[in-house]
A and B are shown apart, each in its own frame.
Chain A
Amino acid sequence: MLAYEFMQRAMLAGAMLGLIAPVLGVYLMLRRQVLMADTLSHVSLAGVAAGSLLGANPSIGGFAAAVIAALLIERLRSLYRTYAEVPVAIMMTGGLATAVVLMSFGKTLSQSFSSYLFGSIVAVSDTQLWLIGGAAGIGLIFFAVFRRPLYALTFDEETAGISGVPVRALSIAFSVLTGMTVTAAMPVVGVLLVSALLVLPAALALRIAGGFLSAILLSVLIGLAGIFGGLTLSYAANTPPGGTIALLLLAFLLLGMAARKLWLIGRRRANGGYSTRNKPQASRTAARTIATVAERTGKSQATNGKEGIEPG
Chain B
Amino acid sequence: MLLSSMRNVVFGYGEAPVVQGISLDVYRGEFLGISGPNGTAKTTVLKLLLGLLKPWSGTIELNAEAFGGAKPTIGYVPQHAASFNAGFPSRVIELVRSGCHGRLGLFGRLGPEQERLVRSSLEQVGMWELRRRRIGELSGGQKQRVCIARALVQCPDVLILDEPTTGMDARSRTELYRLMRHQTRHHGITVVMVTHGLEEAERYLDRIVTLERTEAEAVGETAAEADRNDLDDRWETE
Contacts and interface: CB of A to CB of B under 8 A. Distances in A.
Interface residues of B, number: 33
Contact of B76 (A149, A163, A213, A214): A163
A310 interface: no
Given A158-B52, A164-B73, A206 B90 contact: no
Interface of B: 50, 52, 73-78, 84-85, 87-91, 94-95, 97-99, 101-107, 110, 133-134, 137, 150, 154
A80 interface: no
A278 interface: yes
Nearest to A215: B89
Contacts of B76: 158-159, 162-163
Contacts of A163: 73-76, 99, 101-103, 154
Nearest to B50: A162
Main secondary structure of the interface of B (DSSP, over half): mixed
Contacts of A278: 137
A206 B87 contact: yes
A160 B78 CA distance: 11
A288 B48 CA distance: 43
A151 B102 CA distance: 12
Contacts of B110: 148
A70 B143 CA distance: 33
Contacts of A210: 89, 91, 134
Nearest to B80: A156
The interface size bin for chain A is 20 to 34
A149 B98 CA distance: 7
B101 A152 contact: yes
A152 B106 contact: no
Among A26, A148, A160, A210: residue with most chain B CB under 10 A: A148
Main secondary structure of the interface of A (DSSP, over half): helix
20 contacts: A26-B89, A30-B88, A30-B89, A145-B107, A148-B101, A151-B90, A152-B98, A155-B88, A155-B90, A159-B76, A159-B77, A159-B78, A159-B150, A163-B75, A163-B99, A163-B103, A165-B101, A211-B94, A211-B134, A212-B89
A278 B94 CA distance: 19
Contacts of A205: 89
A164 B102 contact: yes
A130 interface: no
Return the 10 tightest CB-CB contacts between A and B, nearest first.
A164-B102, A163-B102, A215-B89, A152-B98, A162-B76, A212-B90, A211-B91, A148-B101, A149-B101, A209-B89
B95 to A, nearest CB: 7
A212 B134 CA distance: 10
A243 to B, nearest CB: 28
Interface in A101-140: none
A162 B52 contact: yes
A200 to B, nearest CB: 16
Nearest to A26: B89
B63 to A, nearest CB: 18
Nearest to B108: A148
